[in-house]
Every structure is written in structure tokens, then in C-alpha cells.
Amino acid sequence: MMPIRTFRTTLRAAPVLACLLAVGCATSPRTGLDSRAGDHTDEDIEVIPASGVRWGALNPARGAHGPRAADLWGDRTGSDATGMLVRFAEGFSSPPHIHNTTYRGVVLEGLIHNDDPDAAESWMPTGSYWTQPAGEVHITSAKGDGRLVFIEIQHGPYLVLPTDEATDNGERAVNIHASNMVWLDASSAARIVQSSTERPAEGPRVSYLWGDPHDQDPSAALVKLPGGFAGTLRGDGPSLRVVVVEGQVHFQRSGENGVLALDPGSYIGSQRGASQRISLGTDSPCVLYVRAEGALEISTGLPR
């Protein structure tokens, strides 16, 4: 069967409309951050530093020279929703191929090109976002330092298949360069909460990526935190998952002296009860990928 060609929307020159969600603020020290919400304690929060992930082959058929992958949650070989890291070798370029499941990706390190096999090269840097529909023929290339991406699928398994199995499921791919992300602050996003003495432009900002943030189904956004931030991410649903995209955040468990410094590729996850709360801080600006079920709130200061 001939490969089915689909149109990829690539956003390079024009801004993309996005939607942000929000946070509350009040100045407080970074130390002593608490993650308790009712009977939910930060002992229930899973933390995986980037240095502690377990790597395996993304596509075992390619052997040791293929991309490496590490599940942060879920199981990419099973049927569950999964978030994973993928690291490419310098100069990696795949042959044309398809996947059996749609995925969404964020660049954490290096430069990534993901597009139709005949498309001109368009390299996406850290903080860029793209989607790859199931069944669409494409290639993926990587270069530069790190060459690390975060990939999320809503159901597995994640498989690499030949182009003669191409299909068109009606989805269309999108590439959003980091410079074209649209960021909303507390002046335009209802659930970014700040003190009356703090200017919205100096607080957290959010760029909505997928899903409907107003219902209980999963949705995700990039969250940009300013330097000196100390506060809380709160989700109204049963799970809240955070992946560090850029910069470094600090997480401290209640009653412990040590503060974990989490670099790009690190993961913090909470999934218990009707709502979730994760408190963290950062000395310099950082960007997070946040997946929530239910509305997301970002608050400066200690949990209320």
C-alpha cells in the first residue's frame, strides 16, 4: 500500500494562540516547602531525578545504536498512558516510518527535526512542542547538545512500523517553535493567583498545549516560573505530573532537610485522592511540562 501523505502545520513565523492556567502568589522562602493536601502528603509524591532514570531501547529492532528511552510514568510496551524520555545519538536521522499511536513531544535539550520526509529541515530548540499523529509517515532527526525529548502517549504500546502500513486518522501534525509559544500571565489567565503587590508580568505564565483545562479529562500546559518562585502547583483531579523542561527546580519533602535540585528530564508525580498538590521553588527562571486531570492552579507561597 502506498504511504498516505498528510499535511503538517508548522508554526514558525506567526504566534500560536494558547491558553494559560494559573498560580497564586505571596513571597516566601524556598526552604520548608510543604506538599500536604488533606490526607495527601508528600510521601505519596514520586520524584525521579534525571540522573536516576532507567534507560532502555526505544525500538529494540534498531539495537544499541537506536534511540534510548526511559519511562517516567506508565509503560510504553503496555496499554497505559505513558510519559517517557527519549535520547538520540548525535546526528541521528531515522528512515521514514509511522507509529501506531499518536504522540506529543517537547524538546528538552538539543535540536529536533520531525516532519514529512520531503520537508525542508526545520530545527526545533528547547521548549518547542510538536505532535505526531498515528499512521502518518515522517522522519525524526536530532543534533546538538543532549538531544533529549519528552514524549507522551495516551495509550500504548508505542511501536515503530513501516510506511506501507500508513493510515490517515484525520489528525494533523503541528510543530511549534519555542519562539512562537504564546504565554498568558495572571492578567489574562483566570487561575494564576498573585498578590496585589506583584505585577502579572513578573509572575508565573502558562501556555496551554492540549486537552480542555476546564474539565476532568487530562490536559497539559507549559508553565514558566520566574526566578525566586516558591509556591504550589495544584490539580483538582486524581493526578498531577510535572516534567522539568528547562532550568532547575527544587523540591523538599516535609520534615527533611535536604532539597532535591531537579534538572531537565526530572519528574515529579502525584496521584492520590480527589486533588493533588506539589510545592517547589526555583532560583532562576524555569519551564515545566504539567499534565493535570481537572483544573490547574499555580500559587506563589506556601499551600493554603
Q: Is residue 209 part of a domain?
A: yes
Instruction: Assess whether 57 and 171 both reside in one domain.
Output: yes
Q: What is the pLDDT of residue 54?
A: 95
Identify the residue whose cell numbers are 520534615: 255
Instruction: Assess whether 258 and 241 both reside in one domain.
Output: yes
Instruction: Assess whether 209 and 139 both reside in one domain.
Output: no
Separation of alpha carbons 89 and 65, rounded Å: 8
Instruction: Assess whether 185 and 291 both reside in one domain.
Output: yes
**157, 179, 201 - which closes a domain:** 179
Whether residue 125 is preceded by a cis peptide bond, meaning omega within 30 degrees of 0, is no
**For residues 129 and 106, is the Cβ–Cβ distance under 8 A?**
yes
Instruction: Assess whether 213 and 171 both reside in one domain.
Output: no
Instruction: Assess whether 26 and 67 both reside in one domain.
Output: no
Separation of alpha carbons 74 and 84, rounded Å: 8
Residue 243: give its domain's CATH number: 2.60.120.10
Q: Identify the CA nearest to 11 among candidates 148, 135, 142, 182.
A: 182
Question: Which domain range does residue 288 map to?
Answer: 17-49+181-300
The grid coordinates listed for 125 are 530548540
Q: What is the mean pLDDT of each run of 10 residues along the chain (304 residues)?
A: 41 34 29 37 84 92 85 95 96 96 98 97 97 98 97 95 96 97 90 81 94 87 96 92 98 81 97 86 97 91 56
Q: What is the pLDDT of residue 152?
A: 98
Q: Are strands 192-193 and 296-300 parallel, antiparallel or unpaired?
A: parallel
Q: Is residue 10 part of a domain?
A: no
In the chain, the number of structural domains is 2
Q: What is the pLDDT of residue 85?
A: 98
Classified as helix, coil or strand, 181 is: coil
Q: Identify the CA nearest to 236 among candidates 206, 222, 216.
A: 216
**143, 163, 179 - which closes a domain:** 179
72 exposure class (CB count in 10 Å sphere: 0-12, 13-18, 19+): buried
Tell me the pTM: 0.86
Residue 164 gets the label, from left (phi > 0), alpha (psi -120 to 50) or beta, of: alpha
Instruction: Assess whether 74 and 163 both reside in one domain.
Output: yes
